[in-house]
Structure 1
Amino acid sequence: MNQDILHTAIKASLSAGNAIMEVYNSVIEVEFKDDKSPLTEADKRANDIINSYLKPTNIPIISEENKQIDFEERKSWETCWIVDPVDGTKEFIKRNGEFTVNIAMVNEGLPEFGVIYVPATKTIYFAEVKEKKAFKSTIKSHNASIDDVISNSKLIKPKKQSNTIEVVGSRSHMSQETMDFVEDLKSSGKEVEIVSKGSSLKFCIVAEGNADIYPRFAPTMEWDTAAGHAICNAVGLEVISKETNKPLLYNKKNLLNPWFIVSKR
């Protein structure tokens, strides 16, 4: 993987984060898309900024806020970007800080690297799957240089097994099926604690050892998961479809994900 490509994604996420926080710190006006999901000025601004960084790479882009390209064209793409300019728009509107910028590159359906930026805390996670390493960096400014990001970064690793299983639950989308999954774990004699988080931060807290498992039995789209999937894969975690019992795939005809579980296999 060309380091310049990864660095481009990092710079795009930081620049988008800066624009997102300008909106966050002003009056947030909310529109609703056809699927009833919320949309703010932050989504639009961040999307424009990320596109401006990624388009010069000449790698095609799938973004939540771009017009979706027909599969007849997409199916010939070996490599593409998958982007969510603001993941966790509901958390953004609630002003709880748990929203992210997600940028991933996938090759032949599987993530090669991922970048997740948390603008409210100026924390960035990034990983290249083949290197089998993922990093977390906390910076002082959205205008930080790549050198600042790298010099402040620390390796992250998943949790070692313990008597308590920490299960990641969604801040806004806790489904009955997820609650049933938790009850099944408890009935097997294990002590279970729920860790609630919004957005793709759910992947990050498993990857950095602050939870054991993330079951997602509710709808997600490819842009919700691709960057987190890369970060988890880089530290040895699997993101397994409940439909196929194989890793989630990307640039599918239908961009909706099946249910999945993030854990060690």
Structure 2
Amino acid sequence: MEIKADASPLTIADKRANDVINGYLKSTVLPVISEENLELPFEERKNWDRCWIVDPLDGTKEFIKRNGEFTVNIALVSEGKPEIGVIYAPALDVIYFSLVSEKKAFKFHITAEAVDATEIIKSAREIHPKKVSNAIKIVGSRSHMNEETLKFIKELKSAEKEVQVVSIGSSLKFCLLAEGEAHYYPRFGPTMEWDTEAGQAICEAVGFTCKFSHSGKSIQYNRENLRNDNFVVSYEG
């Protein structure tokens, strides 16, 4: 294991997964932004109409802890907006995917070592969010429960609602929202584009918005600075 400049861990699994994914995406002839690829200057990226954004292993800390809460994130981005999102949780044998334009997201449980993509698409179950009732569920990170997040929770409680916090690692937070297991995902801490792009595609397909908390604008991709500002994911379907 190595330690990156930002003090986050890097494993052999990150590198190997990145090589495999890049090998498959090469045939699409579209550029790839990946956590493990060399970051290209914005002058070279700014004219890309479409690109892939990849995190070959999201939740490396969870991977090292062996708690199963790590994912592979892949999204196709068009004009800065997520178009297709795929989140695969290898240890949980589950894959989520969406096509934003069709406003549909799906979940498939993998029961065999080799599964054809056609079978996944054919047999996957469509997932739906749930509107807020009396109890509000907030999904958060096991590693990033800070003061701003606690303040957000307190403000929801002041509206005389019961608030429950569901903790889970990696981009699985987005998946819980999309399948109705939570209602909000406030993130007041550092993330990168490859941490959110696939999850945003899945959530937006079922009626959620993913907006920066300060500007109120939807998260856009392939920006000059690939680091995300604070954001909130909420249901507006």
Do they fold alike, i.e. is TM over 0.5?
A: yes
Q: Does 1:50 align with 2:21?
A: yes
Instruction: Work out whether residues 128 and 180 of structure 2, in 8 Å CA contact, stay in contact via their aligned partners in 1.
Output: yes
CA distance in 2, matches of 1:187, 1:140: 44
Matching residue of 1:178: 149
Which residue of 108, 126, 132 corresponds with 1:155?
126
Deviates more, 1:83-92 or 1:144-153: 144-153
Which portions of structure 1, spanning 4 or more consecutive aligned residues, are displaced by more than 4 angstroms?
none
User: Structure 2: where are the runs of 5+ without partners?
Assistant: none
Show the 5 A alignment for 1:25-40. Answer: 30-40=1-11
Residue 199, structure 1, aligned to residue 170, structure 2: yes
CA distances 1:91-112 after superposition (whole Å, capped 9, x unpaired): 0011100000000011111100
Specify which of 114, 122, 133 is matched with residue 93 of structure 2.
Answer: 122
Query: Does structure 1 retain, via aligned residues, the 8 Å contact 2:190–2:229?
Result: yes
TM-score (norm 1): 0.87
CA contact (8 A) 2:175 2:203 kept: yes
Q: CA deviation at 1:77?
A: 0.3
Q: Normalized per residue, which structure has more strand?
A: 2
Match for residue 26 of structure 1?
Answer: none
Structure 1 residue runs of 5 or longer lacking an equivalent are 1-29
8 Å CA contact retained: 1:89, 1:99: yes
For 1:20, the equivalent position in structure 2 comes to none
Per the alignment, residue 192 of structure 2 pairs with 221
- Matched residue pairs, number? 236
Alpha-carbon distance between aligned partners in 1 of 2:124 and 2:137, rounded to the nearest angstrom: 25
Paired-residue identity, %: 61
The correspondence for 1:100, drawn from 71, 79, 86, is 71
Compute the displacement of 1:58 (Å): 0.5
Change (3 A) 1:192 1:137: same
Query: How far 1:148 moved relative to its partner?
Result: 2.6
More helix by share: 1
Moved more, 137-146 or 77-86: 137-146
Contact 1:241 1:258 in 2 (8 A): yes
CA RMSD of aligned residues (A): 0.9
Q: 1:13 matched to which residue of 2?
A: none
Counterpart mapping for 1:56-67 below 5 A: 56-67=27-38
Give the conservation status (yes or no) of the 8 Å contact 2:131–2:235.
no
Q: CA, structure 1 residues 238+98, in 2 after alignment: closer, same or farther (shift >3 Å)? A: same
Partners of 1:122 and 1:142 within 8 A in 2: no
Alpha carbons 1:171, 1:197 under 8 Å: kept: yes
Q: Within 2, Cα distance between the matches of 1:244 and 1:107?
A: 21
Encode CA deviations 1:137-161: one digit per residue, 9 max, x unaligned.
Answer: 0011342111331233100000122
The offset of 1:169, in angstroms, is: 1.1
Q: 2:117 aligns to what? A: 146
1:118 partner letter: A
Shift of 1:171: 1.5
Deviation of the 1:186 alpha carbon: 1.0
- In the alignment, the residues of structure 1 paired with residue 10 and residue 119 of structure 2 have an alpha-carbon distance, to the nearest angstrom, of 32
| Structure 1 equivalent of residue 137 of structure 2 | 166
* 8 A Cα contact 2:84 2:201, kept in partner: yes
SS at match of 1:120: helix
Displacement after TM superposition at 1:189 (Å): 1.1
Amino acid at match of 1:69: L
Which residue pairs with 2:232 in the alignment?
A: 261
TM-score (normalizing by structure 2)? 0.97
- Residues 243/142 of structure 1: CA separation in 2 closer, same or farther (3 Å cut): farther
**Do 2:175 and 2:199's aligned partners in 1 also have CA atoms closer than 8 Å?**
yes
Q: Compare 207-216 and 169-178 and name the one that shifted more.
A: 169-178
Residue identity opposite 1:192 in structure 2: V
Q: Does 1:89 align with 2:42?
A: no
Report the AA paired with residue 210 of structure 2.
V
Which deviations, in whole Å up to 9, do the C-alpha atoms of 1:224-256 show, x marking residues without a partner?
A: 000000000100110011132011010000000
**Alignment match, 1:110:** 81
